[in-house]
């Protein structure tokens, strides 16, 4: 029996950073997720300054960018 199905609901973000083509999220349990910016057109088109202007919502269940009106849930990344 696998417990992986229960992990996404419990995953909380603690840090966000970018490279040219990727969004990375560090989870509170130490895991890191990397996803292509191509998945998120608003993020892909944002400036470096706009990308850095993120905040965690719901104690880390999601990430929000006010200026570009983007919200991403951690469970959606998993």
pLDDT in tens, 8-35: 557 999 999 999 999 999 999 999 999 9
> Quick one: which of 73, 68, 35, 69 has its CA closest to 57?
73
Cβ–Cβ under 8 Å, residues 8 and 74: yes
Confidence of residue 6 (pLDDT cuts 50, 70, 90): very low
CATH among 3.20.20.70, 3.30.2020.40, 3.40.50.300, 2.40.40.20 for 4-73: 3.30.2020.40
Rounded percentage of the chain residues whose pLDDT exceeds 70: 88
pTM for this entry: 0.84
Stretch 41-58: mean pLDDT:
96
């Amino acid at each position: 029996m696998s417990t992986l199905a229960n992990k996404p609901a419990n995953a909380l973000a603690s840090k966000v950073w970018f490279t040219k083509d990727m969004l990375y999220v560090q989870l509170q349990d130490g895991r890191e997720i990397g996803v292509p910016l191509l998945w998120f057109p608003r993020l892909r088109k944002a400036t470096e300054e706009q990308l850095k202007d993120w905040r965690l919502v719901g104690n880390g269940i999601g990430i929000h960018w006010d200026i570009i009106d983007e919200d991403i849930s951690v469970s959606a990344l998993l």
